Amino acid sequence: MKPFSNFQVSSSSKNKNLASRRSFITSAGLIAGTAALTGMIPGCSPAVETPKIWKDMPLILRFRPYELQLRHVFTLAGSSRTTTADILTELEWNGIIGYGEASLPPYLVETQDSVSQFLSGLDFSRFNNPLFIENIMDYVDGVAAGNHAAKASIDIALHDLAGKVLGQPWHRMWGLNPADTPPTSFTIGIDTPEVVRQKTADAAGFSVLKIKLGRGNDKEMIEAVRAVTSVPLFVDVNQGWTDRQEALELCQWLAEKGVVFVEQPMDKTRKEDIAWLTARSPLPIIADEAVQTFDDVLLCHGVYSGINIKLMKCGGLRAARKMIALARALGMKVMIGCMTETSCAVSAAAQLSPLVDWADLDGNLLISNDLFEGMTVIEGKVTLSDRPGIGVVPL
């Protein structure tokens, strides 16, 4: 669907809005230039329809609760569940709608009530231009500390909206080559060997698998997977290991089993033990629970080999890009992950994936009631759509 297909222009409003149009076009000077260029670039979509006029109007925020239904019982080192709470957001401007969401797994502190409360307190009447993402997100960040998933739901919708206004996907505006996207892993939760073998067989289309460990049956889990496939494995312990010497021995064993890295092996508060393990492990040790926001990246340096960035933890694409830049400056590995979420948030994260070493962007595939069509997985690889913004359309 063309982003401006619903955009109605009336001749009577033309003069009335000329001044605001001039100021908007000044700030959005990319529109004409980008439209002219895209028609000449191989692999890029033709120029989008250039808007005739923009009304000077505030951004409108809408949101509603949603419950994600998981395809399988999802068992981690510390919990099991069949649903994930979610809040869907929309930011509208000049008839164009940007989509966002906040996924709220129970181990994070935010809830549908807390996100609704945060979003209800936002006043977007002060913003008449969705392209000023820095100004708008500075305001959103300043309303209250924390609330990262709530902030991500705004950040994602805002990027989607601004990208649609400019007629381009964000990976292109960031100068990223869609051919550089990594494969995404598909997650296999903790279960009996029989179920793990079946889940592994069902995931035959993926070139990397992420295996959840940390409940005492680690070797049994890996052996069950290896009975079915020889693809590289990511391992996520979700803080489940307690003894650092045993952790090291397991890392050595896992390295012989074709494992690529180990994510969050022990409780995030045990920094000294994790640094000890990282210094000795043949596999990179990646922080997940230990890294939420930009400030945590510095704290992980010297403790972990790399970080797992998730939009719901850090507050969205703006924050994630800054974290990637800092981690790279510190010589750290970077992974981009997700919660169980719809294709909306997964597709937003996928826009950044050409910048990372590893991707775990399967959250939309773990639910049975997705609401969007967006990024896809083709032969195991993250495949970005050519649509503007974060690249999604409602189903």
- Taking the complex as a whole, the smallest distance from the CB of residue 78 to Mg ion amounts, in Å, to 11
- Taking the complex as a whole, the smallest distance from the CB of residue 280 to Mg ion amounts, in Å, to 21
- Contact code string over 295-334 relative to Mg ion, x by CB under 5 A: ----------------------------------------
User: Which of 265, 184, 180, 186 minimizes the C-alpha distance to 218?
Assistant: 265
Piece of 40-48, 175-183, 227-235, 236-244 that binds Mg ion (CB under 5 A): 236-244
Q: Given the complex with Mg ion, which of 155 and 236 has the nearer CB atom?
A: 236
Distances (CA, A) of 177 to 44, 349, 383: 11, 15, 11
Helices in the chain by DSSP H: which ranges?
Answer: 12-16, 18-27, 30-38, 112-120, 133-143, 148-166, 170-173, 193-202, 218-226, 244-255, 271-280, 294-300, 311-314, 317-329, 343-351
Joined tokens for residue 150: 């709530």
Q: Given the complex with Mg ion, which of 34 and 238 has the nearer CB atom?
A: 238
DSSP 93-141: ETTEEEEEEEEE-TTSS--HHHHHHHHHT--GGG---TT-HHHHHHHHH
- Contact code string over 249-268 relative to Mg ion, x by CB under 5 A: --------------x-----
How many residues of this chain bind Mg ion (CB under 5 A)?
A: 3
Terminal C-alpha separation, the chain: 12
- Taking the complex as a whole, the smallest distance from the CB of residue 210 to Mg ion amounts, in Å, to 8
Q: Give the phi and the psi of residue 116 in degrees, each rounded to 5.
A: -60, -40
Q: Given the complex with Mg ion, which of 107 and 253 has the nearer CB atom?
A: 107
- Taking the complex as a whole, the smallest distance from the CB of residue 308 to Mg ion amounts, in Å, to 6
Joined tokens for residue 77: 């080192």
Q: Given the complex with Mg ion, which of 89 and 278 has the nearer CB atom?
A: 278
- Taking the complex as a whole, the smallest distance from the CB of residue 337 to Mg ion amounts, in Å, to 6
- Taking the complex as a whole, the smallest distance from the CB of residue 1 to Mg ion amounts, in Å, to 35
- Taking the complex as a whole, the smallest distance from the CB of residue 237 to Mg ion amounts, in Å, to 8
Q: Given the complex with Mg ion, which of 137 and 311 has the nearer CB atom?
A: 311
Q: Given the complex with Mg ion, which of 53 and 254 has the nearer CB atom?
A: 254
Q: Which of residues 196-225 bind Mg ion (CB under 5 A)?
A: none
- Taking the complex as a whole, the smallest distance from the CB of residue 360 to Mg ion amounts, in Å, to 8
- Taking the complex as a whole, the smallest distance from the CB of residue 289 to Mg ion amounts, in Å, to 7
> Residues in the chain, how many?
395
Helices in 50-96 by DSSP H: which ranges?
Answer: none
* 191, 236, 341, 370: residue in contact with Mg ion (rule CB under 5 A): 236
Distances (CA, A) of 265 to 221, 273, 305: 16, 10, 12
Q: Given the complex with Mg ion, which of 114 and 238 has the nearer CB atom?
A: 238
* Burial track 186-211 (b if 16+ CB lie within 10 A, e otherwise): bbbbbbeeeebbebbeebeebbbbbb
Q: Given the complex with Mg ion, which of 156 and 309 has the nearer CB atom?
A: 309
Q: Which of residues 275-294 bind Mg ion (CB under 5 A)?
A: 288
- Taking the complex as a whole, the smallest distance from the CB of residue 110 to Mg ion amounts, in Å, to 17
Q: Given the complex with Mg ion, which of 28 and 213 has the nearer CB atom?
A: 213
Q: Which of residues 157-196 bind Mg ion (CB under 5 A)?
A: none
Q: Given the complex with Mg ion, which of 148 and 172 has the nearer CB atom?
A: 148
Residue carrying the six token digits 């005492």? 216
Alpha carbon distance 315, 76 (integer Å): 23
Alpha carbon distance 183, 257 (integer Å): 19
Question: β-pairing, 80-93 with 96-104?
Answer: antiparallel
Q: Given the complex with Mg ion, which of 236 and 273 has the nearer CB atom?
A: 236
- Taking the complex as a whole, the smallest distance from the CB of residue 263 to Mg ion amounts, in Å, to 5
Q: Which residue's CB atom is positioned nearest to Mg ion?
A: 288
Residues with Cβ within 8 Å of residue 174, at least 6 apart in sequence: 321, 351, 352
Residues found near Mg ion in the complex (CB under 5 A)? 236, 263, 288
